[in-house]
Amino acid sequence: MMAPKKVEHSAAVAQPEGCHRCSSRSVDESKVHGFEEEWMSLKKVLLRPGSEDRFKAIGITGIAGIGKTTLCQLLFNKEEVKDYFFPRIWVCMSAHRGDDPDQKIAILKRMLGSLGVEEGIINKDDEDENHDLKELLLYALRLQLQGKRYLIVLDDASSNKDNWYQQLNSSPTRMGKWDRLACGLPKGCGGAVIVTSRNEELAKKMVGGEGEGFLHRVLPLSDPESSWEIFIQAAEKQYPDRKYSKDSELPINLEILKKEILQKCVGLPLTATMMGEYEKFLY
């Protein structure tokens, strides 16, 4: 299958804020440290030669603050990924204020909205009393994605109460039951879904099933200097009058501070960031 034409890609980028091309979670790559090998490994899975038409499901797991979302943001915004997938949408799985009481319906509406479907059209299905609303929304989602090499990120998945989010690789049953999210995700055109979750068992269930699933565990940063660079950036942003040069010799008090920081953050990027933001209280 050929990649989307450049003209289509450019037109999408030029669309106003709120459309699916502008709903991705951006990241300043210059301020991210320690994930180079990981995003390159995941990129190879997504763009693997010879798998252009195969559906791919990737799970990214790890404890809170370890950088799952940041790693996914890096991958999502790489030019090679942008050129390969169209459309690309980022869906936060956590509940939002004003959501439909049924979180599954809320997620489907969020996905359709990210794909550019107007709110009035999405909510029109609420008035249809003769059909199951989730089935209608799943069918609408499938129509929007049919024949496209899409990329969908489901960030911060946590619901493990039933099978609705599981086996994203699967297709509607022969009996025609549209009873899970996978039914709204067309297969055979090279689409892909990335799931981030603290719950490894949930991620396994979501990316498993028929076809190919891939699970990546994010581990604490192994390079201490990456944690220190994250701390420096957070501290200098919070306190611009203080400068910590990683290329020059540190004063003895900062050498002691650096040692303490590296011991306390244990390779967690979020911890290093928070400690940098409250650096003035660490002396």
Structure confidence by residue, pLDDT tens digits, 162-211? 788 988 988 776 556 788 999 999 999 999 999 999 999 999 999 974 44
In the chain, what are the domains? 29-217 (3.40.50.300), 224-281 (no CATH)
Q: What was the pLDDT predicted at 261?
A: 78
Cα distance between residue 134 and residue 104, in whole Å: 8
| pLDDT value at residue 24 | 47
Calpha distance 18→161 (Å, rounded): 31
CA angle 33, 39, 45 (to 5 degrees): 175
Question: What are the structure tokens assigned to 118, written together?
Answer: 């107007």
Please, are residues 93 and 159 in contact by the beta-carbon 8 Å criterion? yes
- Give the pLDDT confidence score for residue 15 in this predicted structure: 33
What's the pLDDT at 19?
Answer: 34
User: Order of strands, edge to edge, in the sheet holding 212-217?
Assistant: 88-92, 151-155, 192-197, 56-61, 212-217
* CA distance linking residue 126 with residue 143, whole number of Å: 18
Burial of 222 (0-12, 13-18, 19+ CB in 10 A): exposed
Task: Give the per-residue pLDDT at 174.
Answer: 55
Read off the pTM.
0.76
- Spell out the per-residue pLDDT of the chain, length 283, in tens: 334 333 233 223 333 333 333 334 677 777 777 788 888 899 999 998 877 788 999 999 998 888 899 899 999 999 999 999 999 999 998 877 777 888 899 999 999 999 999 888 887 765 555 568 898 999 999 999 999 999 999 999 987 677 889 889 887 765 567 889 999 999 999 999 999 999 999 999 999 744 456 899 988 888 888 888 888 888 777 767 666 555 555 555 677 777 887 888 888 888 888 887 776 544 4
Give the Cα separation of 232 and 242 in Å (integer).
10
